[in-house]
Structure 1
Amino acid sequence: MAQAPLPQAVAALLTPAAVFLVLSIKPGKEAEKAVRATLANMSALGRTVRFRNLHAEFTCVTGISAPAWKRLFPDLPHPKHLHKLQPIDGPDLAAPCPCVSTPGDLLFHIRADQPYMCMEMAMLIMDELRPHVTTDDETHGFKYFDDRDLLGFVDGTENPEGPAAVETVMVTADEDPNYVNSSYVIVQKYLHNLEKWNSFSVEKQEGIIGRHKLSNVELPDDKKPPYAHNVLNVIEKDGVQINILRDNMPFGFVGDNKLGTYYIAYAKNPATTEEMLHNMFVGRPKGTYDHILDVSTPITGTLFFIPTQDFLDNVQS
């Protein structure tokens, strides 16, 4: 019996530090060849960093966008659910800001207990790729108190754990026999208007999130408004809730007053995350948009395919 492909560390535990690096490949075959060589070298780069602190919970997950897949692997089957993230907008959109779709060919999601581990891996990646890519976004995330975001609420409470997390994010043979144990991820970078948010009463904030701020206890269903964040993010099919795995991190540049949340959501089918985003920006029913959007504005949005580690190790340049 053939052994299942080794997945990337998508379901790794949350860490206090992260770097999110989104790059675009420059035009030309030379750039494509260099990128394929780096993809094949990711395991070696990871071992180089990991060995220097074996207790740092270091991981690096590599993602590839739909346009990049067509350039890098034109002769391979296209992953079943890989496409360009579609913006959510329209003249009758209720939310005060649209869900955007922005460029990006490669995602490197680097995690560790110590920020220097993330920084080292990011530098090694760029040492190989700098002549061949442009940087669309580089964000350094950090743990904020007891896993809270800068809005003051605990983030990621409903994440699945253990085997359930793996089941949530890994593609099965029934879903796509070409890419078993692969995954998908959607990333978005949100900037918060904290002055406006902090002008709200705690009771109003709790209604927007759907949880008590201090205790993190979920509000009773009959106390949640229809626009509550945790109401709009519940997706059910045939009476069963469909989960995603979030690894959101706060980030900030205090001098520029640019403070926010880097949203990153893994799933075996990105349609679940896309449905959540539609609910947030349009509402369910229409008009009950997520009132977090009154203070949080997305400035990036990209969908990536996460191939297995075996796939990356065997990429031919």
Structure 2
Amino acid sequence: MSAEAAESQGVLGPLTRAAVFLVVRVDAGAEQIAKDLLADLPGLQRTVGFRSLDGGLTCVAGVSSAAWDRIYGVPRPAELHELPVFDGDRHTSVTTQADLLFHLRAGRMDLCFELETLIMDRLRGAVTVVDEVSGFRYFDARDLLGFVDGTENPTGASAARAVLVDDDGPFDGGSYVVVQKYLHDLAAWNALSTEEQELVIGRRKLSDVELPDADKPADSHLALTVIADEDGNELAILRDNMPFGRPAHDEFGTYFIGYAKSPSVIERMLENMFVGSPPGNHDRILDFSTPRTGALFYVPTADFLEDPPAPPQPVQDSPDTATADPSSLGIGSLRRSARS
């Protein structure tokens, strides 16, 4: 199936004013409930979205490595794995035990609320909620640090090439997505001058213009998160980050969500940020923003969700079949460290 033939879940949808990020673990024995809900999810989205045709409601569901075998029982996508922990000299990322991601987007929060309610009506008692964040568009697409977020997002055909799997395999048209919840120390951030903040980010705060290379510090966020291939071509991802917060609780944050055709692009960004490039040259934004969660998911096509392939029938071993040594099946460490 080609990326063009498969119906996407709406990964390439436009930025919206409101979003909900719901991450859950599927309880033991509830795999069929989760699978049935995922199959019905495109229909539930249409049901709610039809009530406001200009509301732009979409819902993207992702499945983690830990949940794929349990729910679908078919070979997993080639690059689906647990998100590594990136362990630097000063900062360490977080990997969260998670099974399913629901990324709800709309022009109005009530549409996200209604669809999330229908999802949880189906999953209540079958899942454990890991995290639930309601995001909002902040003025002219700025984060709570005051800078425009998502400036370098690809558009049109470039977005499809950057985000949708197209390796002529069974998972064409899907995507990979990484999520991280960051909390900001706004008191420390706001103690910096505007010029100091611009050196941390690598852009002008008001105009959003990128700093010249000669003025951009090597540990700025922009310098460390621009990834290129061996030929020097920049590798893009699609971000739909959202601010969130509870001022009465001194909670201010950014929910990072990045889609890509290969998770290796986002993982290289995270390694540069936390471990440093070169090691020790960590992203200065981490001195003010602390990760609280992190997970990697594969986003199947809507066609896959609605009509997943049947799992293969087990083959009965013959008496001569050798039993694999369990010790030979161990998984290596996922931790990427500046000290290894």
Q: From 77, 80, 86, give the equivalent of 1:79.
A: 77
Q: Could you tell me how far 1:94 is from its partner in structure 2?
A: 2.8
Q: Distance in 1 between matches of 2:6 and 2:50?
A: 24
The structure with more helix, counted as a fraction of residues: 1
- Contact kept in structure 2, 1:99 and 1:301, CA below 8 Å: yes
Supply the distance in 2 between the matched residues of 1:189 and 1:203 (Cα, whole angstroms): 26
Contact between 2:145 and 2:186, CA under 8 Å: does it hold in 1?
A: yes
TM-score by length of 1: 0.95
The aligned residue for residue 39 of structure 2 is: 40
Residues 44-85 of structure 1 show CA distances to partners (whole Å, capped at 9, x for unaligned) of 1001110010001111000000010011122x1210000000
- Corresponding residue number in structure 2 for 1:103: 97
Q: Select 1:139's aligned residue among 130, 133, 138.
A: 133
Cα distance, 1:103 vs structure 2? 1.3
Distance 2:246 2:85 in 1: 26
Partner Cα separation in structure 1 for residue 35 and residue 264 of structure 2:
28
**Cα deviation, residue 315, structure 1:** 3.4
Q: Supply the distance in 1 between the matched residues of 2:17 and 2:195 (Cα, whole angstroms).
A: 29
- The answer to whether 1:213 aligns with 2:205 is yes
Structure 2: which amino acid aligns with 1:34?
A: I
**Corresponding residue of 1:51:** 50
Q: Does the CA-based 8 Å contact 1:170-1:268 persist in structure 2?
A: yes
Return the alpha-carbon distance in structure 2 between the equivalents of residues 114 and 152 of structure 1.
23
Instruction: Give the stretch that moved more between structures: 232-241 or 182-191.
Output: 232-241
Kept after mapping to 1: 8 A contact 2:69/2:75: no
Alignment partners' CA distance in 2, 1:272 and 1:228: 18
Aligned to 2:286: 293
Choose the corresponding residue for 2:89, options 86, 94, 98.
94
3-state SS of 2:124 partner: helix
Shift of residue 13, structure 1, vs aligned partner: 0.5
1:202 maps onto 2:201 in alignment: no
CA–CA distance in structure 2, aligned partners of residues 316 and 284 of structure 1: 42
- Once the two structures are aligned, what percentage of the paired residues are identical? 52
Distance 1:131 1:201, change over 3 A: same
Compute the displacement of 1:316 (Å): 7.5
Q: Which runs of 5+ in 2 are unaligned?
A: 311-340
Match of residue 66 from structure 2: 67
What residue identity is the alignment partner of 2:248? G
Query: In structure 1, what residue type is equivalent to 2:107?
Result: D
- How big is the shift at 1:171? 0.2
1:154 alignment counterpart: 148
Distance 2:97 2:136 in 1: 24
1:241 maps to which of 234, 243, 257: 234
Conserved 8 A contact 1:188-1:299: yes
Do the aligned residues in 2 keep the contact of 1:77 with 1:178 (CA within 8 Å)? no
Structure with larger Rg = 2
The whole-number CA distance in structure 2 between the counterparts of 1:131 and 1:48 is 23
Q: Given residue 191 of structure 2, which amino acid in structure 1 is its aligned partner?
A: S
Instruction: Choose from 163, 187, 209 the match for 1:169.
Output: 163
**Shift in Å, 1:232:** 0.4
Secondary structure at the residue paired with 1:67?
helix
Q: Is the 8 A contact 1:37 1:315 kept in 2?
A: no
- Return structure 1 stretches of 4+ with deviation > 3 angstroms: none
- Deviates most, 195-204 or 2-11: 2-11
Secondary structure of the corresponding residue to residue 311 of structure 1:
helix
Aligned to 1:223, the other structure's residue is in SS state coil
SS at match of 2:86: coil
Q: Is the 8 A contact 2:72 2:308 kept in 1?
A: no
Alignment of 1:248-287 (within 5 A): 248-287=241-280
Name the amino acid aligned to 2:51.
R
CA contact (8 A) 1:233 1:276 kept: yes
Indicate the residue corresponding to 2:332 in structure 1.
none
Q: Distance in 2 between matches of 1:165 and 1:215?
A: 24
In structure 1, the residue matched to 2:15 is 14
